[in-house]
Structure 1
């Protein structure tokens, strides 16, 4: 199979997965109690008023018809109209998605090199003093729920030592980058868990790669350690590490929800909470589809990186 064929197969699998996600999202919104018509009219609305409102919103039609219309529109990047805000869903989620993307991007920029460094440091000398200390800290960091970690950071750095704001609200009419200090604690809360989790996997990968025959042969040939690590060990460890960081990216998009709520950060979590409260299924479905697309694309990119750095896969793809 050629590299182009590999890419085509991965893209087809991504499209099929995204379609399955769309079906699950739409079906899940159908079984939720209540609907947008009842939520918009309030508890005092009569049956006739609710029926009229359902007809206006188009939710009284069979769900297969509405699913086909929604899916067809989504292919044109039209995710429908918010029933609570009366605005296109794309416009509703654009700013919160950018804020969440900024938080995830900053966290990834800190977490990936930190996890790689810790994984290499401990994996090249397993069982040593540094390995024992880092492993113990990593296990503790992974074991603590993220909302507890976020609360402890607020307690220490916003209460006991008021160095950073406890609430991550940007200035009125501005964005998070207008007050960069509001990003420090949310990024730290996400990084503690992400770096601890990823570094453990990188460590195990480095240990496995270090035991490979070609790495041992490079050392026996008298090559400097930095050359052995850079030219022989890291290429062998790159494929599983790339997949690990793709999983990390997907986990960050999910993990930001808790952190955003704790710090009152204006990301997607606030939009989702409002959509659930108002039974705004268009926003729920749109956000879910967008997040699924972002995560699936990250896995495709990870696969391409693996194909680029692993000579064995490049040879197999020819």
Structure 2
């Protein structure tokens, strides 16, 4: 019963957070210089023409009224209509969202595999030569900005070796998955930084779990080290690691914008840039709300996973 109350509280907190984000997002997009009417008409439009278009778009109504209408429609799955393309926002962002999700998913999977292996190798032997080597390498990788990592990868694998394309060109009417080679450098750029950061966190989690009473008791009972790790140590790390990876996945999703711009990848960043350039507030607000929902949802899922796998958390809840 207490666990159910905890879940309900987390869901309500997530809904409240998303609502607060929607207010900030809507208000922030509205205070940008100009508006959708002036952007769609151009600089030569008269005041009368601008006023007429503002009335057609409903921009002459009070801000609070427009927000309530927008958030009410968004709850029902209607994110509005693009001022620039005169099409539903949901249709406009569907394909870019899928392309960004593909990039994030591949980077997240690669990060989980690499970070878990490196974190376990370093955490099981703290202070050893392999720990110092892996921790030092991870620190170096974390210290390098992602756009620098992307530039170095392009220089090496595209300009020098010529193995991979420097730009993610998608066939007309196709998708990035149709040309898997264009995904390698963007995914690697995201993974190197993310895996380095996550491996240091997993190392700390493993070191903490390795000193837990049940793990020490298993060793004192004479169980082989492999069984101690598999039966006692790894289960104790699942909850904290799941929370770390969920947070990381949300950060990856929000951090793909720079990488997409560097490689000209057809994701959400291009849609956002066009929306800001043309002051297409329905698209800007819709994409922002989607990203916020995905990030907040992933963090809630992480909390629920931690609740399920950790008896201490269930007792505390």
The aligned runs of 1:85-234 (5 Å cut-off) are 85-234=85-234
Bigger drift between 18-27 and 299-308 goes to 299-308
> 2:148, 2:87 → 1: CA distance?
36
CA RMSD of aligned residues (A): 1.1
> 1:171, 1:137 → 2: CA distance?
37
8 Å contact 2:186–2:260 — kept in the other structure? yes
Bigger drift between 93-102 and 137-146 goes to 137-146
**Cα drift, residue 316 of structure 1:** 4.5
**Cα drift, residue 25 of structure 1:** 0.4
TM-score, normalised via structure 2 length: 0.97
Kindly indicate whether residue 247 of structure 2 is the aligned counterpart of residue 261 of structure 1. no
**Cα drift, residue 239 of structure 1:** 2.1
1:20-40 CA-to-partner distances (Å, cap 9, x unmatched) read: 010010110111111111111
SS at match of 2:274: helix
Bigger drift between 224-233 and 282-291 goes to 224-233
Bigger drift between 79-88 and 38-47 goes to 38-47
1:223-263 CA-to-partner distances (Å, cap 9, x unmatched) read: 11121112211222222211111110111012100000000
Unaligned runs of 5+ in 1: none
1:114-152 CA-to-partner distances (Å, cap 9, x unmatched) read: 111111100010111111111111111111111111111
**Residue correspondences, number:** 317
The aligned runs of 1:278-293 (5 Å cut-off) are 278-293=278-293
8 Å contact 2:242–2:305 — kept in the other structure? yes
> 1:144, 1:128 → 2: CA distance?
25
> 1:39, 1:279 → 2: CA distance?
6
Bigger drift between 87-96 and 303-312 goes to 303-312
**Cα drift, residue 5 of structure 1:** 2.1
Kindly indicate whether residue 245 of structure 2 is the aligned counterpart of residue 245 of structure 1. yes
> 1:298, 1:165 → 2: CA distance?
32
8 Å contact 2:243–2:305 — kept in the other structure? no
> 1:147, 1:243 → 2: CA distance?
26
> 1:253, 1:315 → 2: CA distance?
32
Kindly indicate whether residue 32 of structure 2 is the aligned counterpart of residue 32 of structure 1. yes
Aligned residue number for residue 296 of structure 1: 296
1:168-210 CA-to-partner distances (Å, cap 9, x unmatched) read: 1211110011101110000000000100001101101111111
**Cα drift, residue 315 of structure 1:** 4.2
**Cα drift, residue 93 of structure 1:** 0.3
Aligned residue number for residue 80 of structure 1: 80
Unaligned runs of 5+ in 2: none
SS at match of 2:167: coil
Question: After TM superposition, where is structure 1 displaced by more than 6 Å over at least 4 residues in a row?
Answer: none
